[in-house]
Structure 1
């Protein structure tokens, strides 16, 4: 965990560094076990293709969790997250190879919301294979 970010040290436009997360099929199996989401689109290539997907896809909540991780690690406190929401725009396709897929996540301070509460809104970007995978991804964070 990094040092906590000070409200006074950020301005609108402050960027949260982009991080890359690699996800492979084994990660999806582990996530399915932890979450209880055993939908075959997350592990069965034949089934995923039969329902019109290009291949096995990562759980949306997995992608969402990685984005939240970028925000809370930047803020320096997982308890700093006050509000969080996303729209799923495209799936993260996870091929059955040694590389898997890469999810790139960054954010930018879009607004300082409340000086007294010391909250800011972050607009989050998340892409995989050059495609936006989360839309309207926003977090409200309370800073020190």
Structure 2
């Protein structure tokens, strides 16, 4: 593993039915994630994906690349923009990429993750610290 190595890209279509399943699994039933009228009434453009679901996609990018989610030691993000999920079969396309930002002497590395929706970054300072082996 070397600084600058790129992870295989990951593209995920987030759909409304996935939001409902995620709400059930996470117990986050906030209506901004499933009720279009409510979301618009509070000033959102439409229903939005759960921030933690979007964050989980970033960790999926890293764990798929590592082959072992247990090697992720630390993971953090800042939420910068919502992922607006239309009411259709295709949903919202979230595109993820990552690269090795630092290899450390302690046997870990920092992975810098980029998550974009509609060409704009939706997670800021998204980084994972991973064990190299």
Aligned counterpart for 1:120 among listed residues 86, 109, 115: 109
Give the distance between the partners of 1:129 and 1:29, measured in 2 at CA. 22
Aligned counterpart for 2:76 among listed residues 59, 75, 85: 85
Q: What's the TM-score once normalised by structure 2's chain length?
A: 0.98
Q: Highest CA radius of gyration, 1 or 2?
A: 1
Aligned counterpart for 2:56 among listed residues 62, 65, 83: 65
Cα displacement (A) at 1:131: 1.0
Cα displacement (A) at 1:51: 0.7
Q: What's the TM-score once normalised by structure 1's chain length?
A: 0.90
Aligned counterpart for 1:139 among listed residues 115, 128, 133: 128
- Which blocks of at least 5 consecutive residues in structure 2 are unaligned? none
1:20 is matched with 11
Give the distance between the partners of 1:73 and 1:98, measured in 2 at CA. 25
Aligned length: 133
User: C-alpha root-mean-square deviation of aligned residues, in Å?
Assistant: 0.7
After TM superposition, which residue ranges in structure 1, 4 or more long, deviate above 3 angstroms?
A: none
- Which blocks of at least 5 consecutive residues in structure 1 are unaligned? 1-9
